[in-house]
Each structure stands twice: as structure tokens, then as C-alpha cells.
Amino acid sequence: MIKDKKILIVGAGGFIGGHLVNRLLRDGNSIVATDIKPKEYWFQDFDNAENYYATDMKDISNCRKVATGVDYVFNMACNMGGMGFIENNKAECMLSVLINTNLLIACNENKVQRYFFSSSACAYNETMQQDVFIKGLKEEDAYPAQPQDGYGWEKLFSERMCRHFQEDYGLEVRVARYHNIYGPFGTYDGGREKAPAALSRKVAQSKINKTNNIEVWGDGKQTRTFLYVDDCIEGTLKLFESEYSDPVNIGSDEQVSINQMIEIIEEISNVDTLKREYQLDKPKGVRGRSSNNDLAKKVLNWSYELSLKDGLTKTYNWIYFELKKDKSNINPFTKS
């Protein structure tokens, strides 16, 4: 367990970043938390952290300032969202390369002991993801390179940047390829939400509004694996404390179709089967994607614990009660 360290978390106002801040504070660490979002739009905010609100880490002067005197750095920041966002904002996604580049420079200058980069399954070769219910993608399947345009290329390039900073400058790096992380305290509307949150919201809205239909992007047959955020944090810390510096999948192997996920959420919400309205013109991403976790089991002695149904139950219930609250104030950072 990481304890009594001064740790910089970039993207701390976001979904995974907020959960990570919470965990590392509970474990007895001193946290420097930064995010480009103003204070009122952080997903989680902790008074006992040293918080830098509305701080753009694409500016290297900000990176140098917050990296001074810290032991470890976790880079959880990037401009991203669900498929609807990343397919229509490729340039914005690519600009996140500046965050990683400037942070690595600042960490090297400040003699930071260890650096973590949050990569993505979007870094994998798309030609291997053209069918549903594919075999789990192994870490070596990222090459030959043909990742998702924009967001995936930024992640793959940033992985290489981390590798070369370790080779050339001796900065210890750890890289996780996240596979569809979901859970409470995340985006569930506005255009950046991912499938578990979007579908939970749609089913919850149907229940609240007493309707019997749900809109589905694509034909509902596309498949993915999804990992609950608490398992993600545990896997992340296992990786960070390991001696393994190459990219590692952090995901589950419980592969389901979008239609199957809807059925699970319907059961959780106790609603009758909803009429599916398939929107074939919406962004769908690759046809199938699954995580092979053999390497994580071998080098980290880690595997996920929470089943998809149990994780969706926690996620759905949180979103349902959020929707029941007064929504007079719209959060623009669900869209940015």
C-alpha cells in the first residue's frame, strides 16, 4: 500500500481521478489534485487535498509548478468521453498529448520517482475488432499500429513517450490500458457518457417518465468488456507498485453485447422489456472489444472482483437518484 507519499494526480476532478484521490487520501498520503475544470464541476472534491482548480496542464509552466516536491505522479487527464465524443472531436483528443509530454518533462526536471499514464483499449489495432464476441486483446496486439483515429493514436503515442523517458532519462513509468471503466460519480449525460452510464440513464428516465422505449446507438449487437471503478483503482495501484513498466490491460473478461447490457439494467430497474429504437446513424466504434487479463494476473496477481450485474446495480441506483434530484443547473463539463 502506498502510504506517506506526496502524490500529484492530474485529472483529479474527473471520474477515475476522483476515485483515485479518495483512495490515496484514505491510505494516508498527501495529495496535490489538479484539473482543467473549475471547482464547481469536479466530480469529487476533497478539502484535505491541495487542489488546483481550472488549471490547464497543456501549459508546461503549470506542470512544473504542481510537480515540484512530489514523489509520484498519476496522469489521469485527457480530453475524452464516450464514442459519440471521441469520433467527432479527434483534434481535441489528440491535443491531450501535450499534457503527457509536458508532465514527463516536468517530472524529469523535478526528479519524480515514478510516473503513471492512463492509456486506453482504443490503442488496439482496429482490424482485430471487426467481429462481435472477439477473443480478448493481448498487450502485444497494439502492434502493428492501427488504433482508433484521434483518441487511440494519442494514447499509443503517449505510451511510447513514457517508454522513451524511462529508457533515456531513467524516469520509472507505469502504463495501464483501461477497458471501459464505469461506476458512480461519472458522466451520465451531455454527450461524453459511456455505454453503462448512458443506458442506465435511459432506462432510469423511462422508469421515471413511465415510457416504454429506449434509444440505442447502433444495432445493439456490438460487444465490449466493462470494469467497475473500484476494481480499476485496485488494479491501478497494483500496477503502480509493481516492477513492470510495459503497458498492462486493466479490465474484465465479462464480454456482453449492448442488447445484453440493456437486459441486465432492465432487470435491475424492475421494468418491463423496453422497445428498442435502434439508431444506425450514430457513432458505434469497433464491432467487438474484449480484454485479455492474463498478463495482469501473472505480473500483478490481480483480477477484477465485481460482476457486471453487481457493478451496474451500483451505477444504475446512483444515476436513478441523481435524476430524481433537481436538475435546474446544467453542468457544461458533462459535454467537455
What are the distances in angstroms from CA 27 to CA 5, 18, 92, 157, 193?
Answer: 10, 14, 35, 32, 29
Place of cell 445493439: 220
Q: What is the DSSP letter of 48?
A: T
Euclidean distance between the first and the last CA atom of the chain, given in angstroms as a whole number? 34
| Phi-psi domain of 47 (left: phi exceeds 0; alpha: psi -120 through 50; beta: other) | alpha
Grid cell at residue 187: 458522466
Which residues neighbour 237 within 8 Å (Cβ) at sequence distance 6 or greater? 1, 2, 23
**Does 244 qualify as catalytic in the annotation?**
no
Of the residues 52, 72, 115, 151, only one is catalytic, namely: 151
Q: What distance in Å separates the CA atoms of residue 154 and residue 148, rounded to the nearest whole number?
A: 9
What are the distances in angstroms from CA 157 to CA 97, 116, 225?
Answer: 8, 15, 24
Q: What angle do CA 58, 60, 64 make, to 5 degrees?
A: 130
Query: Helix, strand, or coil here: 141?
Result: helix
What are the distances in angstroms from CA 189 to CA 5, 86, 319?
Answer: 36, 15, 10
Pair 243, 181: CB distance under 8 Å: no
Q: What distance in Å separates the CA atoms of residue 292 and residue 168, rounded to the nearest whole number?
A: 30
Pair 161, 173: CB distance under 8 Å: no
Closest CA to 232 of 322, 296, 155: 296
Query: Catalytic residue numbers?
Result: 151
